[in-house]
Amino acid sequence: MTGSATPVTLAAEGPLAVQLTAAIESGALHRLSMLLDEHPGLANARIAARRKTWRTPLHVVAHWPGYYPNGPAVVRLLIDAGADPSARSAEGPSETPLHSAASNDDVDVAAALIDGGADIEAAGASIAGGSPLNNAVGYGCWHVARLLVARGAAVGELWLAAALGMNEQIEALLDAGPPSQESLDEAFWQACHGGQLRTAQLLLARGARIDATPGYSSGQSSLDIAAHLDERRSQLVRWLGEQEAKPATQASPS
C-alpha cells in the first residue's frame, strides 16, 4: 500500500481491515504501530461499509460504544501517522470522528481528537445536521458537551444553552427576539434533559409548556427525560451487568 491523495479503501471483511480494527479496538499499540509502518497511508484508509459509507481508523476508535483500551493513545498514534482528525464517513454531510466520540461521551478520546486538530464546528448528518456539540447534547453526553464548550464550541441555539444551563446566554437569546412556542418548549425539555433546574424554572416562567414533547423525544415528557440516565451512566450500568455486578439486595454479604 502506498500513500496517495486519494485514501485507500479496504473491504471491511478483508484481512488487513480486520487486523487494523482488532488492533484499534483492543488498544494493541505495538501491533497498530507495526501495521501503520508496514502499510503507508493506512492511517487514512477507508474501511468500506454499506450504502457507500465508510469508517476511517479514527472513526473506529471513536465509534459507539467507545471506551476502547488505550483509546486516547490510539488517537494520537493514528494522527501522528497522518490520519485526518476531521475525516468524513461518506461523501457530503456525514460524521467526523469527533461526532462519534460526542455520541458516546468518550471525553478522553474527544480531547485527543481536538488536541490533534479536529474541527469542533464540523457539520454532521445527525442531530439537526449540526456540530459535534449537537450530537453531545442530543445524546446526553454531558462530559463531551462541556469539553467542547470549554474548547470554544459555539452555543448559538436556545436548546443547546438550555441543556447546558447557560442562563445568561438564554436571557440574551430571549431578549434578542421572542422565540416560537415550539423553540421555547424544546428548550424547556432540553433543560430537563440536562438536569438544569434553574434553567427549567426560568423557561417555565417565560412561557414554556411543562408537558410539551419535541418531535424527536420518542414520546418522553420533560419528567421522563429528567429521570433518564445519561449516555455515560447507561454504558456504566451496562458494563456492570456484563461483569455480573449485583444490586445490594442480591449481593453476597461481605
- Put simply, whether the predicted model's pTM sits higher than 0.95 gets the answer no
Residue 77, pLDDT score: 98
Whole-number Å distance between alpha carbons of 215 and 26 = 38
Each residue of 13-23: b (16+ CB within 10 Å) or e? Answer: eeebbebbbeb
pLDDT in tens, 99-119: 999 999 999 999 999 999 999
8 Å CB contact between 130 and 123: yes
3-class state of residue 232 by DSSP: helix
**DSSP 8-class letter at 7:** P
How far is CA 196 from each of CA 188, 190, 193, rounded to the nearest angstrom? 9, 9, 8
Band (250; pLDDT cuts 50, 70, 90): confident
Q: What are the chain's domains?
A: 155-243 (1.25.40.20)
pLDDT in tens, 82-92: 999 999 988 66
Residue 4 clears pLDDT 70, i.e. is over it: no
**Average pLDDT of the residues of the chain:** 92
CA-atom Rg of the chain in angstroms: 21
* Owner of C-alpha cell 451512566: 233
pLDDT in tens, 165-179: 999 999 999 999 899
Closest to 79 measured CA to CA, from 93, 58, 59, 96: 58
8 Å CB contact between 86 and 48: no
How far is CA 16 from each of CA 7, 55, 110, 132, rounded to the nearest angstrom? 15, 14, 26, 30
